[in-house]
Amino acid sequence: MAATSGGTKKYGLGSVLHHVLIHQSIIGEESLKQMDMAGEYPDVVIGCVGSGSNFSGIAFPFLRENLKNGQRTRLLAVEPEATPSLTKGVYTFDYGDTAGMTPIIKMHTLGHNFMPPSIHAGGLRYHGMAPTLSAMVNAGLVEAVSVAQTKVFEAAVLFARTEGILPAPESSHAIRTAIDEALKAKETGEKKVILFNLSGHGHFDLVSYNK
């Protein structure tokens, strides 16, 4: 916008770009300390992902530990089946916003003209992924999975009934995958420490739960 307005306006995205991901990494840094206080270290770190800031916030500090200190934590980014930029998108140059106002960046993308279907996890309806996270997925350092909305809400209701916390639809993608990982470990008899990011409550999403 600075270019189109003669330099009188500036345009900053609230996700996608590097500085936002770095700011969010306080989540993972605190998680590292809390896990240390509990005397545990995660085998798997899970977070929902729309354009990248939430997942990167929880996962990137653990990625650093993998690369720097030889830890072997799996990092699982969970996206909706309806907007599968990581699992079905193309790794190429595209605009970071739907308006086409940002410089083009290399990312996993469905195309900035992609019209996402109406799903209840509104925060995950984004066409592309942060370039830093995209590079990590492309390098095989982060895994990506997609989950169906119905399965997500099944997990959300189960979580609410067992934990007494109503999760946001976005966060429930991480819950769904955490449950799946726990069930796999139960089947194989493995002991696994699973960390997931409960990034929001669902108090303003009651209509979605009713549906």
| pLDDT for position 1 | 46
Domain count, the chain: 1
Longest dimension (CA), the chain: 63
Instruction: Count the Cβ atoms, other than its own, within 10 Å of residue 101.
Output: 14
d(CA 172, CA 184): 18
Determine phi and psi for 68, rounding to 5 degrees: -90, -40
Per-10-residue mean pLDDT of the chain, 211 residues long, equals: 63 78 95 97 97 94 97 97 95 89 91 79 81 96 96 94 94 97 97 95 69 62
Provide the pLDDT for residue 200. Answer: 86
pTM of the prediction? Answer: 0.89
So what's the pLDDT on residue 201?
83
Residue 204's CATH number: 3.40.50.1100
Q: Is residue 9 part of a domain?
A: no
Query: Which structural domain range is residue 43 located in?
Result: 18-210
Tell me whether residue 8 is in a domain. no
Q: Is residue 124 part of a domain?
A: yes
pLDDT, residue 147, reads 96
